[in-house]
Amino acid sequence: NFRSSIELTAEQRELLASFTRDMQVLVLAGTWCGDCVNQCPIFELFAEAAGCIQVRYADRDDNPELANALMTCGGARVPCVVFLSEDGQFCGRYGDRTLARYRATVAKLQGAACPTGLTPADSVTPAVIQDWLNEFERIQWMLRTSTRLRNLHGD
């Protein structure tokens, strides 16, 4: 399975272990979605490594109002990740694909070769993991530097 084929680097694990603020992460996803199959396990790795990230999933088709509220580029694209503070305040959203994934998609569309269905040796997955980690880190810094949360935690 895909989950067992991905791993974090030592630097990525160290960064995630340094997170201190609780982060609520809501992922609008679909079990039928290939992007979700390849990206949601990344969020689970982050949650395991950080300890302060709580990931919850909502099925897009079972939650049409949420899907409508989170439309991207006029469509109910998934995964759509919503970042919330420990007390449920909106901090940001990200998805459906990362920059690395879009670059790989565009390269395929512009290239002369047709896809073979075989996984390339230079998989884009490590770059996708890093793209997602960059966004999780950005939100963590937002939470760590929030005056409201600093006052709440006395730091």
Per-residue pLDDT, averaged over 115-122, amounts to 53
Q: What is the band of 121 on the pLDDT scale with cuts at 50, 70, 90?
A: very low
Q: What is the band of 3 on the pLDDT scale with cuts at 50, 70, 90?
A: confident
Whole-number pLDDT of residue 110: 85
**Is the predicted pLDDT of residue 120 greater than 60, yes or no?**
no
The pLDDT tens digits of the residues spanning 18-63 come to 999 999 999 999 999 999 999 999 999 999 999 999 999 999 999 9
Whole-number pLDDT of residue 38: 92
List of domains in the chain = 2-153 (3.40.30.10)
> Distance of CA 77 to CAs 70, 94, 96, 127, 142, Å?
8, 11, 6, 21, 25
Rounded CA gap, 46 and 15, in Å? Answer: 10
Whole-number pLDDT of residue 113: 60
pTM here?
A: 0.90
Share of the chain above pLDDT 70, in %: 92
Per-residue pLDDT, averaged over 103-130, amounts to 77
**Is the predicted pLDDT of residue 88 greater than 90, yes or no?**
yes
Sign of the alpha-carbon torsion through 106, 111, 34, 17: negative
Whole-number pLDDT of residue 114: 60
